[in-house]
Amino acid sequence: MRLGDFDLTILSGGRYRIDAGTMFGVVPRVLWQRVFPPTDDNTIPQATNCVLVEGGGRRVLIDTGYGPKLSEKQRSIFQAEPGDPLAASLAARGLAPEDIDTVILSHLHFDHAGGATRRADDGRLMPAFPNAEYVAQRLEWVTATAEFPELLAAYPLDNLLPLRDSGQLRLIDGDVEIVPGIRSLVTGGHTAGHMAVVIDSGGETAVYLADLCPSWRHLATLWCMSYDVDLLQVRRMKPNLLGQIADQGWLALVDHDPDHAAARLRRDDRRDFAVAEFVC
């Protein structure tokens, strides 16, 4: 996809399956199953649609999928792909991890930050992108590394501490320009430090929504996930940002939709917002 002077490419960080009810939280099953019918084991497919932004002499990666470090038990539970899906996606474009300059992590849950690190042949944990600066919100990092018992499963430290120890981590506070043309937009809601990523170039704008709106099935204001730590904040921020995207004709990017990663949106009287056109 061309966006002004940037090239945007969707890279798979791995597909998996998850309990359908967890993706819709308090939304009654009779409603969500109409738009996302589960299989007999009550699971639905999920993508991890990472975004590669190329331009201005840089290669910037937004989110990293679940990575290559899942245990066999975890892979079985999530029916996750083997190997390192993100590295394979890069290789299919003729790129290596060494070619990435910046990695932006929208938040630090395992399915967004798991691919940020890998194990070397001798078992040592190390950053998966050796030449990259990793960027995350300070509030998100503090929460993720605090070792709160109730959050340990959401924030495996193997995904995070090697970034700090390598000196490649940059923590930011709030809405800032990360690199020219790419800026953070803190939304909270899904996690306290969750951010969307806004890409501006040549008068065109794209917004990576991350888990503020994980799929096109979640466009309705009240449709949230059971993983959201602050439902009220999601229900405040999501319609504001989706409304801006729809009204301005911006491109919207979602992480977990298994069918389409990018779309133009429109306002909709019935479900608040709807897809006007799928882009990819």
Helix (H) or strand (E) segment spanning residue 161: helix 161-165
Q: Which residues pair with 179 in a beta bridge?
A: 182
* pLDDT score at 116: 98
Strands lying side by side in the sheet with 58-62: 2-3, 6-12, 49-55, 58-62, 102-104, 133-137, 169-172
CA-based max dimension of the chain: 57
* pLDDT score at 89: 98
* pLDDT score at 51: 98
* pLDDT score at 62: 99
Q: Is 33 helix (H, G, I), strand (E, B) or coil?
A: helix
* Residue linked to tokens 């309990």: 19
Cα–Cα dist 188/229, whole Å: 9
Chain segment 31-71, per-residue pLDDT in tens: 999 999 999 999 999 999 999 999 999 999 999 999 999 99
Helix (H) or strand (E) segment spanning residue 243: helix 231-248
Q: Which of 221, 232, 231 is closest to 272 using CA atoms?
A: 221
Cα–Cα dist 198/206, whole Å: 6
Query: Could you tell me the two tokens for 11?
Result: 């890279």
Q: Is 50 helix (H, G, I), strand (E, B) or coil?
A: strand
Query: Strand 58-62 relative to strand 102-104: parallel, antiparallel, unpaired?
Result: parallel
**Banded model confidence at residue 161, pLDDT cuts 50, 70, 90:** very high
Q: Which of 5, 98, 89 is closest to 52 using CA atoms?
A: 89
Q: Is 159 helix (H, G, I), strand (E, B) or coil?
A: helix
Chain segment 95-152, per-residue pLDDT in tens: 999 999 999 999 999 999 999 999 999 999 999 999 999 999 999 999 999 999 999 9
Find the radius of gyration of the CA atoms of the chain.
18
Q: Return all residues near 40 (Cβ < 8 A) that are at least 6 apart.
A: none
- pTM value? 0.97
Chain segment 61-76, per-residue pLDDT in tens: 999 999 999 999 999 9
Strands lying side by side in the sheet with 177-179: 177-179, 182-186, 195-201, 204-208, 251-253, 262-268, 272-278
